[in-house]
Amino acid sequence: MCEPRDIGRALGDKAPDGVASTAARVGPGEFDPTLFLFDHVPGGIGLAERIFELGLDLLARSRAMVAACACEQGCPACVGPEAPNATPDRMTRKRAALVLLSAVLGG
């Protein structure tokens, strides 16, 4: 059994040399988003390794789940809670999630 707190996560930036870090470069077109998922339990319990093995399948299933949600803008059930300091822009959170997932999955 596991719970959401067993998996740690952070968003970072993949540098041109292929090394990822949590420090983002500043400037248009310079940020290459990289999602870090790791075992939150010291020493790990194998969750991160299994997530890596199933990565593309998990992303495809996530895209299908978001697309199938009946909401229009993106809700806590499909894209998660809205950040408290979020600013509205032209693209809904749901559309942005679908664009990102499709880009990662290659279309």
Residue with tokens 């420090």: 23
Phi-psi region of 102 (alpha: psi -120 to 50; beta: other; left: phi over 0): alpha
pLDDT, tens digit (0-9, with 9 covering 90-100), for 36-53? 778 888 888 888 888 889
Parallel/antiparallel/unpaired status of strands 7-14 and 20-21: antiparallel
> Where do the structural domains in the chain lie, given as residue ranges?
1-53, 56-107
pLDDT, tens digit (0-9, with 9 covering 90-100), for 54-94? 989 999 999 999 999 999 888 889 988 876 666 666 778 89
pTM exceeds 0.85: no
Looking at residue 16, the DSSP 8-state letter turns out to be: T
DSSP 3-state of 76:
coil
